[in-house]
Chain A
Amino acid sequence: MSTTTEAPLVRPGVGRGLADVFRDRYLLRLLVGKELKIRYRGSALGLLWSYVKPGVQFVVFYIAMGKFLQLEKATENYAVYLFSGIVLVNFFGEALSNGARSIVYNAGLIKKIYLPREMFPVASVWVSGVHFIPQVAVLLVGCFVAGWRPDWISLLAAVGGFLIIAMFALGLALLFSAINVFFRDVENIVDLLLMVATWASPVMYKWDMVQKVVGDFWFTVYQINPLTVAVELFHRAFWAPTTPGDFSVYSPPNLLTLWLPFGLVISAAVLLLGQLTFRRVEHRFAQEL
């Protein structure tokens, strides 16, 4: 080989997966920026809508669920309880449903120009993360109104819960977006999963209700779901500190010592599985789309 050349010969179209996405953060940032701009194009309030919608949702919960249905009697600050779970499920739902569609949606680009294809699911999850911020802001307002007294464990639980969901959603988004290229049924499966997700984690009800009905074994199975762990972590972070007295009793046993690390491990495993599946089939995207 000649000595005058700088770059080595490499095989085009063979990337390093997620590592490539984070090497090209500039493009990722532009793709995320594009999605955010498009979302509120032509609307007068723009990004303000991201605050208005969850704000109204919270007020509706407070009045309809807390006051009319009187769920406040069984669960103190039920609106905060409900909302701290809902924001996570919203984040998960948006990340997963947009992420799963991202490859097919960007078919035009993927068929024409090579770029790390993981870019699209990652951008979808990132965009959902940006939309998550106003919801947390509304939640925090609700918390302070309800007399929130956070401790350092609140911060740990919030960060842990977010990380679990972010990794879990990205892993599933990679997996489903890749399969969606071959079987468009996946979009419906994802919609179904998301419908179940809200009820398969303690968002509307309390975890001990599940334990009473199904027993310890199935409750353990129930807790393996990273959504359950993350939702309980968010309850620990946002809702529990608004209740008077010793609030550590509200969390399921070993939440921080066992289930937090366990949830992180499960989510990381799903992320790995998603990435491996994605890489196995991505070379066929251009011809299948």
Chain B
Amino acid sequence: MTSTPVAVEIRSISKQFILRHSRSIKEAVVWLAQGRRKDLSNRFHALKDITLDIAQGETVALLGLNGSGKSTLLKHISGVMTPDEGTVRTRGRVAGLIEVGAGFHPDLSGRDNVFLNGAILGMTEQQLKERFESIVEFAEIEQFIDTEVKFYSSGMYLRLAFSVAVHSDPEVFLVDEILAVGDEPFQRKCLEKIGELVDAGQTLVVVSHDLELVQRVCRRGIVLEHGNVVFDGDVSEAVSVVRSR
């Protein structure tokens, strides 16, 4: 082992998706009655025997075309999915922005949503109370904080969601395609904030199609193709690998 401890350890994980056609008991019974003739489902390999380590403080970009398995890999790191084979192990709290405002409820006020979303991302009551001011300030929505979120513009919504996530301060911060949205000034602000976190030793795993942006944020790039790792190394080389495909 090197001097920096691993934050994420992935050992030969594979994941198969079953594309089930049937959604009802009726069809399943018919299928059984017919002697299970044709396979009820299609299988599809999303990840094939992937092994990698991410050290603490590393900034990693998962790159690849649509359907290459990068989001699936991210979901395995977050624990949303578990592998069919192999193991994933992480150190400390893993959280982040997997989708803008997952867990936001349109009928609740911004304030209620901050607490609910923060708790979903693993913050304690104490932490949320301490950071609430800072979350609202970063999102720049002080005057609307008690308005229901359904009346927010998409920009306000995004800013609040990003702000909660960035304040959740997990050991491993995951970001899936969030930076593509938002206006220029806010995007810059987000990047600055992420830069601060990285300087403070935050482990970062990003999934993005925005190759320019990824090069600014991350140092290491991992390129996936059809569920395999085809490149793992310096981010600018990774970007050129993706571009050449």
Q: Of B95, B102, B105, which is within 8 A of A34 by CB?
A: B105
B91–A14 CB distance below 8 A: no
CA distance A218 to B20 in the complex (A): 42
**Known contacts A5-B5, A185-B25; A11 and B119 CB within 8 A of each other:** no
Partner of A115, one of B3, B89, B105, B120: B120
Q: A2-B4, A7-B92, A11-B87 are in contact. Are A110 and B80 (CB under 8 A)?
A: yes
**Does B116 contact A9, Cβ atoms closer than 8 Å?**
no
Which residues of chain B are within 8 angstroms of A46 by Cβ–Cβ distance?
A: none
- Asked if A287 CB lies within 8 Å of chain B CBs, one says yes
Interface residues as binary, A2-13 with B (CB distance below 8 Å gives 1, 0 otherwise): 101111111111
In the assembled complex, how far is the CB of residue A80 from the closest CB belonging to chain B, in whole angstroms? 37
Inter-chain CA distance A112–B101, complex, in Å, is 10
Number of residues from B at the complex interface, CB < 8 A: 48
**B108 near A113: Cβ-Cβ < 8 Å:** no
In the complex with contacts A27-B119, A109-B103, A113-B120, A9-B9 CB distance below 8 A: yes
Q: Is B121 an interface residue (CB 8 A)?
A: yes
Q: Which residue of B lies closest to A42 (CB)?
A: B107
Residue A67 CB within 8 A of the other chain: no
B91–A286 CB distance below 8 A: no
A113 B102 Cβ-Cβ under 8 A: yes
A7–B171 touching, CB < 8 Å: yes
Indicate whether A26 reaches chain B with its CB closer than 8 angstroms.
yes
Q: Which residue of B lies closest to A28 (CB)?
A: B119
CA distance A288 to B22 in the complex (A): 12
A1 and B95: CB pair below 8 A? no
Contact call B98/A14, Cβ cutoff below 8 A: no
Restricting to B71-124, which residues have a CB under 8 Å from any CB of A? 75-82, 87-92, 94-95, 98-99, 102-103, 105, 107-108, 112, 115-116, 119-122, 124
Interface residues of A (CB under 8 A from B): 1-2, 4-14, 24, 26-27, 30-31, 33-34, 37-38, 41, 108-115, 183-185, 283, 286-288
Q: Which residues of A contact B88 (CB under 8 A)?
A: 11-13
Interface string of B104-148 (1 = CB under 8 A from A): 010110001001100111101100000000000000000000000
Instruction: Decide if B91 touches A5 in the complex (CB within 8 Å).
Output: yes
- Whether B95 pairs with A184 at a CB distance below 8 angstroms is no
Q: A9-B6, A26-B125, A38-B105 are in contact. Are A109 and B120 (CB under 8 A)?
A: yes
Top 8 closest pairs, chain A to chain B, by CB: A12-B79, A13-B79, A114-B79, A112-B102, A2-B5, A9-B89, A27-B119, A112-B98
B103 and A113 contact, CB distance less than 8 A: yes
Query: What is the minimal beta-carbon distance from B42 to any residue of chain A, in angstroms?
Result: 13
Inter-chain contact A286/B115, CB cutoff 8 Å: no
Say yes or no: is B230 at the interface (Cβ < 8 Å to chain A).
Answer: no
* Distance to closest chain B CB from A221 (angstroms): 26
Q: Which residue of A lies closest to B172 (CB)?
A: A12
**For residue A30, which residues in chain B have a CB less than 8 angstroms away from its CB?**
115-116, 119
Query: In the complex, which of the residues A12, A26, A183 contacts B77, with contact meaning CB atoms closer than 8 Å?
Result: A12
CB neighbours (8 Å) of B151 from chain A are none
| In the complex, chain B residues whose CB is within 8 Å of the CB of A286 | 75, 80-81
B28 within 8 A of A: yes
Query: Given A2-B4, A34-B105, is A13 in contact with B23 using a C-beta cutoff of 8 Å?
Result: no
CB distance from A278 to the nearest CB of B (A): 15
Cα distance, A183 to B24, chains bound together (Å): 5
Are B107 and A41 in contact, CB atoms less than 8 angstroms apart?
Answer: yes
Q: Smallest CB–CB gap between A266 and chain B, Å?
A: 26
Do residues B82 and A184 form an inter-chain contact, with CB atoms below 8 A?
no
Interface pair A34/B116, CB less than 8 Å apart: yes
Contact between chains at A113 and B95 (CB < 8 Å) = yes
Instruction: Determine the chain A residues whose CB is within 8 A of the CB of B75 once the complex forms.
Output: 286
The reply to whether A183 and B98 form a contact with Cβ atoms under 8 Å apart is: no
- The chain B residue sitting closest to A41, CB to CB, is B107
Asked if A12 and B78 make an inter-chain contact with CB atoms under 8 angstroms apart, the answer reads: yes
The answer to whether A7 and B91 have CB atoms under 8 Å apart is: yes
Contact A12 B94 (CB under 8 A): yes
Q: In the bound complex, what is the Cα–Cα distance between A34 and B94 (angstroms)?
A: 24
Question: Given the interface contacts A108-B102, A183-B24, A185-B25, does A287 sit within 8 Å of B81 by beta carbon?
Answer: yes
Contact present for B103 and A1 (CB under 8 Å): no
CA distance A37 to B119 in the complex (A): 17
Name B22's closest neighbour in chain A (CB-CB).
A183
Known: A7-B171, A34-B108, A37-B112. A112 touches B80 (CB 8 A): yes
A185 neighbours in B (Cβ, 8 Å): 24-26
> How near does chain B come to A40, taking the closest CB pair, in angstroms?
11
Q: Looking at the complex, which one of B18, B81, B171 makes contact with A13 (CB distance below 8 Å)?
A: B81
A-B contact pairs, 20 of them (CB 8 A): A2-B3, A4-B5, A5-B5, A7-B91, A9-B91, A10-B91, A11-B79, A12-B76, A13-B79, A27-B120, A37-B112, A108-B102, A109-B120, A112-B99, A112-B103, A114-B78, A114-B94, A183-B23, A185-B25, A185-B26
